[in-house]
Amino acid sequence: MPRFPKAVMVLPVLALPGLLIGLANAGHADSFELGPRPAWLVSQMDDSPLKEKLAACLGQNVKRTSFSIGHRGAPLQFPEHTEESYRAAALMGAGILECDVTFTKDKELVCRHAQNDLHTTTNILATGLASQCTRGFSPAIGDTNASAECRTTDLTLSEFRTLDGKMDAANRRASTVDQYMDGTAGWRTDLYAGSGTLMTHAESIALFKSLGTKFTPELKSPVVEMPFNGFSQQDYAQKLIDEYKAAGIPPEDVFPQSFNLNDVLYWIENEPEFGKQAVYLDGRFSRDGFDPQNPDTLSPTMQELKAMGVNYLAPPLWVLLTNEDGRIAPSNYAKAARDAGLTLITWTLERSGPLDNGGGWFFQSVADLIDSDGKVFEVVDVLAREVGVTGLFSDWPATTSFYASCMGLD
């Protein structure tokens, strides 16, 4: 049976939301709580110099680091894009927090991963607002799964504010709304999902500023036809930036993201101080024939992206890795991006559940090498030292904060 290294200092598991708020405020003064997970992950590693290095750091002070990015906050245990989730991520030392941005019926910007995810990320189906959903709840019948679709554009901002966030999940074989809403994966938890406080984008800016973190908003692709009641894609992209300007946030603290290259190019042209840190989320992995070992087939090429003014590129982590003679190593995609002068960020750690079966989608390029949770820090180490990523999104930022602090990363 694995044993914790002798240097372990097991810190308290994050507790009640009220206590969490107080601790997070202390986090702004460089007081952080990691909980037991980093130490447990170290204990699962095979013996190696990396394990020895990390074990020696257990119990040492942790600093806030921009390498550690809170992906939707800390949704391994807290409802994503809620105040509680963001505070948890900041408490764990995340130096950058993410608000995925979409808009309501009255064109107000709010934090949601998708414009049409309210049925899985909030309690809307259990409220009177369910009647306003694009498609109401339909139970599973035979081979047909249960379904619903509730959009932020189905609601005004005032209506949106009445909802509670929950863990993002659905029971597709449900016959009732209660069953449908009760689908959280066993490796996540509903312990802190009693009342997730939803946030507008502007409120997230104020919160992140108070917590001492930087900002990485993602402009989500609308599911409604654009322009939406006169609100164009350009209006949408501009409004996101305008809310940072209104809050007096320095452009160098903001890393706006989009999978839509045109959004990134819009920021580069129209808001160059923000645009020079705009992050192109590279979704080209979904194209037929994509091969991270053959990046020359991509269009635009890495050099063309750089010539357009793109400085930050963010593919999923598997795109940056390959199995090289039985070791985790940088892919040719990673090398080509580095050679073109692009700064790499990647996503998402701690989102795959237990890693005893190859790690699933996020680890697919090195699945043959992923056989336990002890591989997490091996992956992080290759991404940081060999690929050279400057930031790593995680659903549980304690893991990335611990690694970055141990290795002296900014």
Q: What is the CATH number of the domain that holds 281?
A: 3.20.20.190
Classify 323 in phi/psi space as left (phi over 0), alpha (psi -120 to 50) or beta.
Answer: beta
Average pLDDT rounded to a whole number, residues 351-362: 96
CA angle 94, 113, 30 (to 5 degrees): 15
- Measured distance CA(324)–CA(16) in Å, rounded: 45
pLDDT at 3 over 80: no
Q: Is 279 exposed, middle or buried (0-12, 13-18, 19+ CB in 10 A)?
A: buried
Asked if 333 and 210 sit in the same domain, the reply is yes
pLDDT-derived band at 408 (thresholds 50, 70, 90) equals very high
pLDDT-derived band at 25 (thresholds 50, 70, 90) equals low
Secondary structure (3-state) at 92: coil
Asked if 166 and 281 sit in the same domain, the reply is no
**329, β-bridge pairs:** 322
Q: Tell me how far CA of residue 75 lies from CA of 13, 83, 180, in angstroms.
A: 15, 11, 19
Asked if 214 and 339 sit in the same domain, the reply is yes
Asked if 373 and 294 sit in the same domain, the reply is yes
Is there a domain that residue 194 lies in?
A: no
Is there a domain that residue 2 lies in?
A: no
Per-residue pLDDT tens digits for 263-293: 999 999 999 999 999 999 999 999 999 999 9
Cβ(284)–Cβ(259) below 8 Å: no
Is there a domain that residue 193 lies in?
A: no
Asked if 255 and 374 sit in the same domain, the reply is yes
pLDDT-derived band at 137 (thresholds 50, 70, 90) equals very high
Asked if 263 and 159 sit in the same domain, the reply is no
Residue 19: predicted pLDDT: 40
Is there a domain that residue 190 lies in?
A: no
pLDDT-derived band at 145 (thresholds 50, 70, 90) equals very high
Is there a domain that residue 104 lies in?
A: no
Q: Which of 35-39, 73-77, 193-197 has the lowest mean pLDDT?
A: 193-197
Percentage of residues in the chain having pLDDT higher than 90 = 92
Q: Tell me how far CA of residue 256 lies from CA of 260, 282, 340, in angstroms.
A: 12, 14, 21
Residue 22: predicted pLDDT: 46
Residue 194: predicted pLDDT: 86
Residue 303: predicted pLDDT: 98
Asked if 140 and 236 sit in the same domain, the reply is no
What's the residue count for the chain? 410
Domains: count for the chain:
2
- Measured distance CA(203)–CA(214) in Å, rounded: 14
| b (16+ CB within 10 A) / e for 78-108 | bbbbbbbbbbbbbbbbbbbbbbbbbbbbebb
pLDDT-derived band at 7 (thresholds 50, 70, 90) equals very low
- The range of the structural domain enclosing residue 397 comes to 17-99+199-407
pLDDT at 43 over 60: yes
Mean pLDDT, the chain, whole residue set: 93
pLDDT at 24 over 80: no
Average pLDDT rounded to a whole number, residues 130-146: 98
Cβ(389)–Cβ(380) below 8 Å: no
Asked if 242 and 149 sit in the same domain, the reply is no
pLDDT-derived band at 12 (thresholds 50, 70, 90) equals very low
Is there a domain that residue 10 lies in?
A: no
Q: Which amino acid type is present at position 392?
A: L
Last residue of a domain, one of 181, 207, 227: 181
Question: Residues 293, 279, 211, 204: is their CA dihedral positive or negative?
Answer: negative
Asked if 173 and 47 sit in the same domain, the reply is no
Asked if 57 and 171 sit in the same domain, the reply is no
DSSP-assigned states of every residue in 317-366: GGGGEEEETTEEEE-HHHHHHHHTTPEEEEEEET-S---TT---GGGGGG
Residue with tokens 């009693």: 194
- Measured distance CA(100)–CA(113) in Å, rounded: 5
Is there a domain that residue 64 lies in?
A: yes
- Measured distance CA(349)–CA(391) in Å, rounded: 11
Per-residue pLDDT tens digits for 54-113: 999 999 999 999 999 999 999 999 999 999 999 999 999 999 999 999 999 999 999 999
Asked if 280 and 212 sit in the same domain, the reply is yes
pTM over cut 0.85 = yes
Last residue of a domain, one of 127, 151, 181: 181
pLDDT at 27 over 50: no
Residue 386: predicted pLDDT: 98
Cβ(93)–Cβ(42) below 8 Å: no
Asked if 277 and 393 sit in the same domain, the reply is yes
pLDDT at 8 over 90: no
Last residue of a domain, one of 155, 181, 207: 181
DSSP-assigned states of every residue in 48-91: SHHHHHHHHHTTS----EEEEEETTSSTTTS-TTBHHHHHHHHH
Is there a domain that residue 374 lies in?
A: yes
- Measured distance CA(110)–CA(200) in Å, rounded: 4
Per-residue pLDDT tens digits for 357-401: 999 999 999 999 999 999 999 999 999 999 999 999 999 999 999
